[in-house]
Amino acid sequence: MSQLQARFFTEYKKFAIDDVPFSIPAASEVTDLSNVINKLLEFKIADHKHVEFDFLVRGQFLRTSLANHMETENISTEEVVEIEYVQKFTAPQPEECIMHDDWISSVEADSEWILTGSYDKTARIWSLEGKAVMTVAGHTDVVKDVAWVKRDGLSSLLLTASLDQTVLLWEWNSERNKVKARHCCRGHAGSVDTIAVDPTRTKFCSGSWDKMLKIWSAESQVINKIKRPDSDKNSFSSLQTPLMTLSGHGEAVSSVLWTDAEELCSASWDHTIRLWDAETGGQKSMLTGSKVFNCISYSPLCRRLASGSTDRHVRLWDPRSKDGSLVLLSLTSHTGWVTAVRWSLSNNHQLVSGSFDNMVKLWDIRSCKAPLYDLAAHEDRVMCADWTESGVRNRWRLCVCCELCVVCENCIVLLVGTGRFYT
Amino acid sequence: MSARGAAAERNSGMKKTTEKRKNREKEEQQQEEEELPMFDKNADKVGHLDDTDEEKEDLSDSEESVFSGLEDSGTDDDDDEEDDGDDDDDDDGDDASGEEEEEQDEENHNKVEKDPAAGETSLTPQTEDKPAKSRKLKKKKSVTSGGDEEEERGKSERDSGLKISSQVDEYEQDTSDEEDIRNTVGNIPMEWYKDFPHIGYDLDGKKIFKPIRSKDELDEFLEKMENPDYWRTVQDKMTGSDVRLSDEQVDLVHRLQHGKFGDINFNEYEPAIDFFSNEVMIHPVTNRPEDKRSFIPSLIEKEKVGKLVHAIKMGWIKPRRPKDSAPLYYDLWAKEDPNSILGRHKMHVPAPKIRLPGHEESYNPPPEYLLTEEERLTWEQQDPEERKLSLLPQKFPSLRAVPAFTRFIHERFERCLDLYLCPRQRKMRVNVNPEDLIPKLPKPKDLHPFPTTQSLVYRGHSSLVRSISVAPGGQWLVSGSDDGTVRFWEVATARCLKTVEVGGAVKSVAWSPNPAVCLVAISHGNTVVLMNPGLGDRLILSATDQLISSYEEPTEVKDQPVEWSLAEGTEHQQGQRLILTHPRAVKQVTWHGKGDYLACVMPDVSSNVQVVIHQVSKRRTQNPFRKNKGMVQCVSFHPIRPYFFVATQRHVRVYNLIKQELTKKLMTNCKWVSSMAIHPGGDNVICGSYDCRLAWFDLDLSTKPYKMLRHHKKALRGVAYHRQYPLFASGSDDGSVIVCHGMVYNDLLQNPLIVPVKVLKGHTITHDLGVLDVAFHPTQPWVFSSGADGTVRLFT
């Protein structure tokens, strides 16, 4: 078997070639195929520049020679093989490094600003270029999680959750560079480890060590009325009580997110991921794992849930499946606790995971045996990661933070994927 | 005296002469005993030569050939002579061939001369029996060799030369064929052949021709005149030849003619001895005729017989008693239940079979079975029981040469013993596979979850970390180190949230198990500090502070061995709340499950106050033990019941705190107990010791260890039970933490299942110290270990 019949196709009109089968050597690898496509394109388009391509055979990335791949995937070599090609996702390079002077517990990026929470009890706002813009101080203990709520022009709403059992809602005016605590959400009996803002940007949910999930309103008008004059301890303008409390977890809640406007998803140390109805407060379903879950992420594009746990694996779940513990895929490459996992906002195949083994890995679920890239720019344990929503259509950034604990100097490394062709 | 006897005599005479010769000639000494074969050889050879001679003669001289049938004896002689001549030749050395021929002629002449003599001897066989050739030969020799010593010598010499290849002619002495084989016609009147030219047939079926008698009366007369032996020459009827009678035969004839006995030695006139004489002998014999009555039957007997006959007729006597058919032996199984016969047969064990003989028992074993000299020696030195072979393999030239088996009786006897002593009952031997004796332990992978890998390292201490304790919620970890600090860690991230300098090497830390208060007991030096770390729920923290500040000084002040004082200033800001000053260094602090009582250990051999129990809410201290029972190593509260465990060097004593009495005394079988942990169920205790052992006690079972584990290579420093999972762990100086599955069943009949599942390594050994303390996470199957390398490690 030295030659294979293959037909190439792509979703990118720009790189489309004639839909005819080619006879290609079975031993050819990605670079060979890429050269073939480039040759064909050169014939077709006069001013074609060389582009590296990646190839998919029946939804799986080609990583070995074509013959090997087809043998392992049990694809018949008798028929014409359909090979999809996409532009190669080039290796992300570290672009900027933002130094923090304490551990960074969380990071959240939007199209303009990066928000980090730190163990020095503050949250900080950075520009995408890595310039410190604002320090949000007000918590009496470690800031465990941060979140952007919404932006109205120059003023933005942001949330910080802390070990001091409170969530603070801040209003930040980027023009005047003033930050003001809108109100304080008090009610948890343990450290608030995770917060998530709902898609309508009017509510948010917090998960705490005290096993509870609480849904709070992000609207400031309602709570202004319930002002507590006796709260002399803090200077916040108002206190807020939760709209709803969801209890059911047997252990600390480690991660929470909204899958849509009415559905909440939470991961816990009790080895379960639970789906809640945000309207009624009832538990809809439960996914059971075998280890403590550190983090979860949901992609509305592919409707998959990714979880990182203490046993080194990133697991993909289908949250809609009713029979609990169905793992679709297990991505195994890390050697430490997986502490951060985040789906790409734009690519329904990509996710990033960070671990205590100092590695950040970029995965494509179409090649689940090995990550696409290992990002080894960090010298310390990775605590959290996030993608930026770039204003430029084709530029996506990955914000990852890690601790650098020995010298108490911590950093954010911004990793930029330079691939231009994501959808 | 018979001819045979004479021959034997001559034979002996021959021997003598041979011996003489042997004295002279040394090379033939050893063959003396083989004289007979020597002669035989001679005869054999002679026979052979005879044939050739006969043939020659047949060809050359027809007259000679006529005699061929009769030549047998004669030729023997002749050959003898010839041989002798040969021997002479040998003696003389190499002579010219011409000389030889001459001699040959001479011998021929001799032969002719001696022929009549041969005929004479041949008579003997005719009359009595035909002797063997050799005998004839000897006879001949005795006749001829009057004193011809030289001839004798030469002959014997030749014989000796032939001896080696000599073979025994088995038919030499055979006399079964008595008939005269010179003529095969048998015992018939020879007149029947009167008209034929031949007189019979020889063995080959050829005609034996009558000797040509062309003698007329004149010749007859001349011969009568000239031949001195004419008178003793007779014609052999069987062959028709003339035979010259020997002196003895002539003598015999004379004796018979005179009516005398043929045997010279027979005395016809033996002195008569009267059998019945007047002489009295010790056994007298009589020739008195028998009495008449001896021929007449006895009347008495007749009467007796008549009576018997009458009795038989009347049936009084049974002539033959019917034979008792019952066997004489005792039927061992007569009373046996017939159904049980089946069982007996089932249990039948056949008699042991004798081993079939092997090659080594053959009379002619293959050479590889023959023992070498060394093997034979070892065989002889061995005990008969030890010998591999019961007999020595030996090689014999033939089966005939095999001697009687000396051990035959012995061996038969042993065989009988074998049969007799053979166990006739099947031995119920239990075939035990040693692997089956190993208890069936579940595989570790079936016992998940348990810690398997090192996940987090809590770095920060600069000296060895003596003690760790996890908050009841599982979020925080406290560690006390020799560098004088106590550090509080966030478990999930290994972040050190708080560091408190206490001003002395921290020996022991213990987080209060009461979730409603947040207190950590820290012992350093003589003091025990109760600290509110300020971690966790604010309400609880404030409740804890409230609890401490709400204390009211009691009205009457008791004399307490421990001084309680409130922390102030910076110490208070650090979180220290109460400081308890003890008389001696406190080695261990441990909380009661409710979190109000706190026990402190001040090990001292000489003091009675080794253990004190504090009540935090009332700030009271009591010394529960009046007597010193040995140096206390560690103490522990029972998780549920009011029991108190005190571990001294070798024993663990269990006290009932309410009844204030000793409940149990556990024998650890260890030399020095280092640590102790109580199962959350309260019925099981593990003790780690400095002599590398871990003893598991089931309090319901015994005061001796239920299981003793020696899985560590060095001294154990810390042991711990998991609160929820069936796990326990031990930390040792060899730098490893060994996690075991220790399932305690609710069923009282089922013993705990203990399976070592994982050896966790991570700590580096510093100053010969490895792991100093182990603690389990309260809710997760995670184990923390603190080591001499200044780190705390989390294994998940």
Task: Using an 8 Å CB-CB cutoff, list residues of chain A that contact chain B.
Answer: 103, 105, 119, 142, 164-165, 189-191, 209-210, 251-252, 254, 269, 290-292, 294, 310-311, 336-337, 356, 383, 403, 405-406
Distance from CA of B538 to the nearest CA of A (A): 8
A251 → closest Cβ in B456, B538, B779: B779
Cα separation of B761 and B434, whole Å?
Answer: 32
Per-residue pLDDT band for B784 (boundaries 50, 70, 90) equals very high
**Measured between beta carbons, which residues in chain B are less than 8 angstroms from residue A336?**
455
Average pLDDT of span A116-131: 82
What is the three-class DSSP state of B7? Answer: helix
Contact B455 A251 (CB under 8 A): no
**Measured between beta carbons, which residues in chain B are less than 8 angstroms from residue A252?**
474-475
A336 → closest Cβ in B455, B473, B493: B455
Contact B473 A190 (CB under 8 A): yes
Q: Choose, out of B452, B459, B538, B795, the residue to mutate when testing the contact with A (most A CBs < 10 Å).
A: B538
Cα separation of B211 and B237, whole Å?
Answer: 11
**Measured between beta carbons, which residues in chain A are less than 8 angstroms from residue B538?**
164-165
- Confidence (pLDDT) at B508: 92
Distance from CA of B644 to the nearest CA of A (A): 32
Joined tokens for residue B745: 């069943």
- Count other Cβ atoms within 10 Å, centred on residue B415: 13
| A315-329, B19-33, B220-234, B560-574: least confident range | B19-33
On whether any CB of chain A is under 8 Å from the CB of B497, the answer is: yes
Which of B475, B478, B548, B472 has the alpha carbon at shortest distance from B516? Answer: B472
Distance from CA of A123 to the nearest CA of B (A): 17
Average pLDDT of span B185-213: 82
Sign of the C-alpha dihedral computed for residues A326, A328, A332 and A334 taken in this order:
negative
CB pairs under 8 A between A and B: 47
- Confidence (pLDDT) at B793: 92
Residue of B nearest to A407 (CA): B460
Counting residues of chain A whose pLDDT is more than 90, the rounded percentage is: 2
Q: Choose, out of A356, A401, A404, the residue to mutate when testing the contact with B (most B CBs < 10 Å).
A: A356
- Confidence (pLDDT) at B171: 59
On whether any CB of chain A is under 8 Å from the CB of B534, the answer is: no
Residue of A nearest to B539 (CA): A189
On whether any CB of chain A is under 8 Å from the CB of B454, the answer is: no
Which of B541, B580, B538, B545 has the alpha carbon at shortest distance from B560? Answer: B580
Average pLDDT of span B257-284: 80
Q: Choose, out of A311, A357, A380, A408, the residue to mutate when testing the contact with B (most B CBs < 10 Å).
A: A311
Which of B144, B155, B84, B145 has the alpha carbon at shortest distance from B115? Answer: B144
| A308-322, B136-150, B431-445: least confident range | B136-150
Considering only residues 337 to 376 of chain B, which have any Cβ-Cβ distance to chain A shorter than 8 Å? none
| A6-10, A407-411, B130-134: least confident range | A407-411
Distance from CA of B692 to the nearest CA of A (A): 32
Average pLDDT, chain B: 76
Q: What radius of gyration, in Å, describes the C-alpha atoms of chain A?
A: 24
Residues with Cβ < 8 Å from A231, sequence gap 6 or more?
Answer: A239
Distance from CA of B725 to the nearest CA of A (A): 14
Q: Is the pLDDT of residue B71 over 50?
A: no
Q: Is the pLDDT of residue B407 over 90?
A: no
Average pLDDT of span A233-242: 63
Cα separation of B201 and B543, whole Å?
Answer: 155
Cα separation of B707 and B607, whole Å?
Answer: 33
Sign of the C-alpha dihedral computed for residues B457, B458, B459 and B461 taken in this order:
negative
| A38-47, A196-205, A221-230, B182-191: least confident range | A221-230
Sheet (strand B576-581) strand order: B506-511, B520-524, B527-531, B576-581, B563-566
DSSP A11-37: S-GGG------EEEETT--HHHHHHHH
A119 → closest Cβ in B448, B495, B796: B495
The answer, yes or no, to whether ipTM is higher than 0.90 is no
**Measured between beta carbons, which residues in chain A are less than 8 angstroms from residue B780?**
269, 292
Task: Tell me the CB-side half-sphere exposure of residue A358, using CA atoms within 13 A.
Answer: 8
Contact B538 A165 (CB under 8 A): yes
Q: Is the pLDDT of residue B120 over 70?
A: no
The answer to whether the peptide bond before residue B554 is cis (omega within 30 degrees of 0) is no
On whether any CB of chain A is under 8 Å from the CB of B446, the answer is: no
Per-residue pLDDT band for A325 (boundaries 50, 70, 90) equals low
On whether any CB of chain A is under 8 Å from the CB of B449, the answer is: yes
pLDDT in tens, B657-712: 888 888 889 988 888 999 999 998 888 999 999 998 999 998 888 889 988 988 89
**Measured between beta carbons, which residues in chain A are less than 8 angstroms from residue B492?**
254, 294
